[in-house]
């Protein structure tokens, strides 16, 4: 090999290695990017309402009820700060249309009667992998939403994904702040999500004050919800 060729290889190889290492370093901490499914290929056969945690499985202090089907769509809109019929800017942040039929979405809610804080478990059928939601939220940190004549700003921040025996997981913090209104109207939420096949599990702690969120109860209910879906 000629000396000139050796010299070219001498500086080219470190550059190539550096580029490869930089690319390998751009992954989500704690979860290799390649491990997140990019398609949904498995269907969970059990009906969604049977996979919800029973009210007695909710943490102490959060007496729970399973929502009637006609109330599920409204409650889902409260959890993402958008809901059906909302005008969303930027438009790319509009979530995919959700089916609120009996075996398409199911929800149970526990409420701390002293603080008005709630713990909500939502199960939804979807053909969208959780990785798609993660990618969309990465570009939707601040969203302006107008619904029923009221305008709010929805702020979303990603947290480290929670450990769970699931296909994929996501954690986020969300604040829904009205453009006009007094104290006690801002919603603060912590949400843990997991996906098993075509069932997306979402567990949300929501409050209307600046107090510390009850993350212990949130974590416990999330574990319960994931286990129940996995056991089918």
Residue 183's pLDDT band, with cuts at 50, 70 and 90, is: low
Smallest CA-to-CA distance from 165 within 107, 229, 119, 105 is with: 229
pTM for the model: 0.81
In the predicted model, is pLDDT for residue 170 greater than 90?
A: yes
Structural domain including 86 reads 38-231
Query: pLDDT higher for 37 or 191?
Result: 191
pLDDT of residue 184: 65
Residue 17 inside a domain? The answer is no
Residue 5 inside a domain? The answer is no
- Average pLDDT on 62-74 reads 93
Give the count of domains, the chain: 1
CATH number of the domain to which 196 belongs: 3.40.1000
Smallest CA-to-CA distance from 132 within 88, 168, 106 is with: 168
Residue 60 inside a domain? The answer is yes
Mean pLDDT (the chain, rounded): 84
Residue 81 inside a domain? The answer is yes
Residue 174 inside a domain? The answer is yes
DSSP, collapsed to helix, strand or coil, labels residue 59 as coil
Give every CB contact of residue 223 below 8 A, 6+ residues apart in sequence.
Answer: 164
Residue 20 inside a domain? The answer is no
Say how far apart CA 22 and CA 84 lie, in whole Å.
41
| Helix, strand, coil fractions of the chain, as percent rounded to 5 | 30, 30, 40
pLDDT of residue 182: 60
pLDDT per position as a tens digit, 95-117: 888 888 888 999 999 999 999 99
pLDDT per position as a tens digit, 22-61: 344 333 344 443 466 777 878 899 999 999 999 999 999 9
Residue 83 inside a domain? The answer is yes
Residue 203 inside a domain? The answer is yes
């Amino acid at each position: 090999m000629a000396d000139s060729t050796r010299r070219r290889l001498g500086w080219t190889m470190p550059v190539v290695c550096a580029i490869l290492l930089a690319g390998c370093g751009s992954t989500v901490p704690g979860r290799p990017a390649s491990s997140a499914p990019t398609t949904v290929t498995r269907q969970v056969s059990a009906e969604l309402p049977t996979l919800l945690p029973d009210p007695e499985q909710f943490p102490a202090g959060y007496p729970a009820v399973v929502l009637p089907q006609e109330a599920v769509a409204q409650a889902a809109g409260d959890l993402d700060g958008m809901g059906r019929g909302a005008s969303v800017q930027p438009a790319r942040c509009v979530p995919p249309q959700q089916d609120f039929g009996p075996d398409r979405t199911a929800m149970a809610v526990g409420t701390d009667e002293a603080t008005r804080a709630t713990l909500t478990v939502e199960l939804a059928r979807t053909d969208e992998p959780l990785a798609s939601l993660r990618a969309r939220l990465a570009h939707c940190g601040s969203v302006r939403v107008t619904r029923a004549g009221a305008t709010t700003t929805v702020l979303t921040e990603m947290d480290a994904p929670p450990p769970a025996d699931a296909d994929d997981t996501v954690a986020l913090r969300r604040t829904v702040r009205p453009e006009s209104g007094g104290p006690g109207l801002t919603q603060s939420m912590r949400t843990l999500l997991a996906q098993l096949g075509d069932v997306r599990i979402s567990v949300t702690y929501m409050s209307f004050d600046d107090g510390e969120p009850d993350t212990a109860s949130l974590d416990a209910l999330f574990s319960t919800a994931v286990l129940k879906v996995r056991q089918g």
